[in-house]
Structure 1
Amino acid sequence: MVALRRAFKVALTRAGFAALLGLMSLHPTGGAMAQLATAALVAQPVSLPDMALGPADAPVTITEYSSMSCPHCATFGENVFPMLRAKYIDTGKVRFVFREFPLDIKAAAASMLARCAANGDAEKFFGTVQLLFQQQQMLMAQTNMTLRVIGKQAGMTEQAVETCGRDQTLLDKLAADQRFAHEVIKVESTPTFFVNGERLKGAMSFEELEEILKPLLKK
């Protein structure tokens, strides 16, 4: 774990991770043009391919920036996302994009595990994320053991989990995407959502989210 932590620290520092954790003031944006510009920036993946559920041509796209160490993110993932998926994603009304924004080294390790376990399969990615959120307290307390257990549940060998944790290229891409999110589209905290380009900060209940979706789906 010591060697792994050093690797994360080096990569995240190299990518400006320390700067990412500093607070920046949001630049106010107003009007349809600003929202369209933000939506265009959010729509395009940077270094890592998007992990998404729902049709690409859905009338509403929700992009969540999330950290595996964020309790509010876990609450959303466990309590709100299943209802959102059943009512809106699986019915073709919403496309949901999950973007990693790790707030610490342990969250970065968990994000890497989810990427490795999925190997490009969105369903497997979201399933692994769900497992990580369910075991968030254990992940924070006993990171290596928890990653091995969840990796095994996702079909990975212990060696594959170790290899994933040493994947410098993956870590660099993760850090680059986080830097872009912070510096360009002003993501400061988790969870942060973009609903058709409109920024929404902080946890939401299903009812609150649904109130935002309903008028968009009537257009």
Structure 2
Amino acid sequence: MKRRTLLLSGGAALIAVGGYQTYAGLAGVRPVPGSSLIEPNAAFAQAAEGEVDTSRVFEMELGNPDAAVTIIEFSSFTCPHCAAYNATVYHQIKEAYIDTGLVRYIKREVYFDAYGLWAGLVARCGGPMRYFGIVEMLYAEQREWSRSDDANEVAGNLRRIGRRAGMSDEELNACLSDRDMALAMMEVYRTGQQEYDIRGTPSFVINGQTYSNMGFDEFRRIIDPLLEG
């Protein structure tokens, strides 16, 4: 598969999909030919001429909002390491800390490529109640929905996941063509990346301290003393 990389530098974004590259301003966010899918071609992580309204990008979280420990996960829907983490360590953390009310757990998306952004739009299309269920499907089926170099095929794969989560094609098309939401999501990602110095995925911020990918035992060695303190 050809690489579909979204490079961020100084708030700018350059996207390559299926070997196709282009660079433009904010107006360059346009549909993929033949579909309503957003093609994020440009530096739309930065609102060059004005501010981006990020009020629609809700924090997706689980657990106790008043817990002594807050974990923020930064991950990409197209990252194999993120899928592996989600299938293993995440569920261990959920059972031991989230479901027991000991931890507030926040998931923030990282957009390294166009497919990851589109997956984020679909996940958020279902709202907070369906978000984490859609996330599970996206990671469990990552190889199947993301493996094509054909952007329209990937769009169709994502729509099928969305339909299984209870959304109509009309709802999904509206979400996948929502330029303002895409801009807002990219802005939230950009500011979080800068604030916490996120350099790879998955990354984790535990009570303000940034950590790279690690196993459950390493998480326990960090979390347990914070709970005791």
Q: What TM-score range do you get, normalising by the shorter chain?
A: 0.7 to 0.9
Q: Which of residues 16, 38, 54 in structure 2 aligns to 1:7?
A: 38
- How many residue pairs match? The answer is 187
Supply the RMSD in Å over aligned alpha carbons: 2.1
Indicate the structure with greater helix content.
Answer: 1
TM-score (norm 1): 0.78
User: Which residue number in structure 1 is paired with residue 199 of structure 2?
Assistant: 188
Indicate the structure with greater strand content.
Answer: 2
Q: CA deviation at 1:211?
A: 1.7
Q: CA deviation at 1:6?
A: 7.6
Mean CA deviation greater in 93-102 or 209-218: 209-218
For 2:36 and 2:225, the matched residues in 1 are separated by 46
> In the alignment, residue 128 of structure 2 is paired with which amino acid?
G
Can you list the C-alpha shifts for 1:34-92, whole angstroms capped at 9, x where unaligned?
A: xxxxxxxxxxx976210000111111100011110111111111111111111110111
For 2:113 and 2:72, the matched residues in 1 are separated by 21
Any gaps of 5 or more consecutive residues in structure 1?
18-44
TM-score (norm 2): 0.75
| Superposition pairs of residues 146-165 of structure 1, within 5 angstroms | 146-165=157-176
Q: Confirm whether residue 173 of structure 1 aligns to residue 189 of structure 2.
A: no
Q: Please say if residues 196 and 205 of structure 2, whose CA atoms lie closer than 8 Å, have aligned partners that are also in contact.
A: no
Runs (4+) off by over 6 Å = none
| Superposition pairs of residues 129-148 of structure 1, within 5 angstroms | 129-142=135-148, 143-148=154-159
Q: CA deviation at 1:159?
A: 2.4
Cα 1:173–1:199, aligned 2, differ >3 Å: closer, same or farther? Answer: same
Q: Confirm whether residue 73 of structure 1 aligns to residue 82 of structure 2.
A: yes
Q: CA deviation at 1:8?
A: 2.9
Any gaps of 5 or more consecutive residues in structure 2?
1-30, 48-53, 149-153
User: Which residue number in structure 1 is paired with residue 91 of structure 2?
Assistant: 82
Can you list the C-alpha shifts for 1:101-128, whole angstroms capped at 9, x where unaligned?
A: 11100000000100001x232xx21111
For 2:205 and 2:122, the matched residues in 1 are separated by 25
Aligned-residue sequence identity (percent) comes to 32
